[in-house]
Amino acid sequence: MNALYGLGQALLHALDPERAHDLAVKSLELGLYPRQAGPDDPRLAQELWGLKFRNPLGMAAGFDKDARAWAPLLATGFGFVEVGTLTPKAQDGNSPPRIFRSARDAAIINRLGFNNEGQAVALSRLSGRRNGVVGVNIGAGRDSEDRIGDYVSGVASMSAVADYLTINISSPNTPGLRDLQAPEVLAALLARVQEARGKAEKRPPLLVKLAPDIADADLPDIVRVIEANGVDGIVVSNTTLSREGVKDAALAAESGGLSGRPLFARATRMLARVYMLTEGKLPLIGVGGIDGGAAAVAKIKAGASLLQLYTGLVFEGPKLIGGIKQALVEAMTNAKAGSLAPLIGRDADRGADATIT
Ligand SMILES: Cc1cc2nc3c(=O)[nH]c(=O)nc-3n(C[C@H](O)[C@H](O)[C@H](O)COP(=O)(O)O)c2cc1C
State pLDDT tens for residues 318-333.
999 999 999 999 999 9
Radius of gyration, CA atoms only, the chain: 19
pLDDT at 8: 67
Task: Give the position, in ligand 1's atom list, of the atom nearest the Cα of 107.
Answer: 25
pLDDT at 181: 84
- Under 8 Å between Cβ of 225 and 193: no
DSSP string, 189-242: HHHHHHHHHHHSSS---EEEEE-TTS-GGGHHHHHHHHHHTT--EEEE---BS-
- Under 8 Å between Cβ of 294 and 307: no
Q: What percent of the chain has pLDDT over 70?
A: 95
Nearest-CA residue for ligand 1 atom 19 is 238
Beta pairing class for 284-287 and 133-138: unpaired
Helix axes 319-334, 293-302, angle to 10 degrees: 50
Least confidently predicted of 51-60, 93-102, 124-133, 344-353: 344-353
pTM over 0.95: yes
- Under 8 Å between Cβ of 161 and 79: no
- In tens, the pLDDT along 68-125 reads 999 999 999 999 999 999 999 999 999 999 999 999 999 999 999 999 999 999 999 9
43: number of Cβ within 10 Å: 15
Rounded to the nearest whole angstrom, what is the distance from the C-alpha of residue 27 to the centroid of ligand 1? 20
Judged against a pLDDT cut of 60, whether residue 307 lies above it is answered with yes
Q: Is 171 annotated in the active site?
A: yes
User: Is-cis flag, bond preceding 205, omega within 30?
Assistant: no
SS3 91: strand
CB within 6 Å of ligand 1 — which residues? Answer: 60-62, 65, 84-85, 99, 108, 110, 112, 137, 168, 171, 209, 238-239, 259-260, 263, 287-290, 309-312
Q: How far apart are CA 137 and CA 122, in angstroms?
A: 11
Rounded to the nearest whole angstrom, what is the distance from the C-alpha of residue 334 to the centroid of ligand 1? 32
Confidence grade of residue 59 (pLDDT, cut at 50, 70, 90): very high
* Annotated catalytic residue, options 153, 171, 237, 259: 171
Q: How far apart are CA 329 and CA 201, in angstroms?
A: 38
- CA torsion sign for 185, 190, 193, 195 is negative
pLDDT (mean) for 162-178: 94
For all residues of the chain together, what is the average pLDDT?
94
Task: Give the position, in ligand 1's atom list, of the atom nearest the Cα of 114.
Answer: 8
- Under 8 Å between Cβ of 177 and 169: yes
